[in-house]
Homo-oligomer: A and B are copies of this chain.
Amino acid sequence: MPNRRFALVRRPLLRALNSWRELMSEIAKTPKPPYYAVIFTSLLKEDADGYGEMRDKMVELAAAQPGFLGIESVRDDLGITVSYWSDIESIKNWKSNVDHQKAQRMGREQWYVSFKVRVSKVERDYGI
């Protein structure tokens, strides 16, 4: 069962930001574990037309899904995006979202040299 508490604070937060880039320069404010992390690492083709626009759309769409807790993303040659989710069911729902599936297909066919998705359960966290 997705944690609806987060659904309530998420959308106004995202609207208040000027862009997803602002969100991308912050450490995600996740709740106490356990929760889930989807670690997505990828290498882009040199010609990846349309990728940036689709990525922005997908971040916005992901953030609107039930169970979404936060996202962190950085790209140099390698891109790492970690999205956080309250439960496995929410991850499955997001993976099978129709618009997201279209994006996944375009990624496989047009944009990525290679990628890896790792679905993991966060057991412990700490920081400053």
Which residues of A are in contact with B by a Cβ distance under 8 Å? Answer: 24-28, 30, 33, 37, 39, 41-43, 72-80, 82, 108, 112, 114-128
Contacts and interface: CB of A to CB of B under 8 A. Distances in A.
Please report whether the interface of chain A is mostly helix, strand, loop or mixed according to DSSP: strand
Given A74-B75, A80-B72, A80-B80, A122 B120 contact: yes
A123 B127 CA distance: 24
Nearest to A113: B128
Contact of A74 (B25, B79, B121, B128): B79
Contacts of A114: 27, 127-128
A78 B80 CA distance: 11
Point out which of A43, A75, A82, A112 has the most chain B C-beta atoms below 10 A from its C-beta: A82
A76 B76 contact: yes
Contact of A124 (B27, B74, B108, B118): B118
Contacts of A75: 74, 76
A121 B124 contact: no
Contacts of A120: 37, 120-123
Nearest to A120: B120
Contacts of A39: 37, 39, 82, 122
Contact of A108 (B27, B118, B128): B128
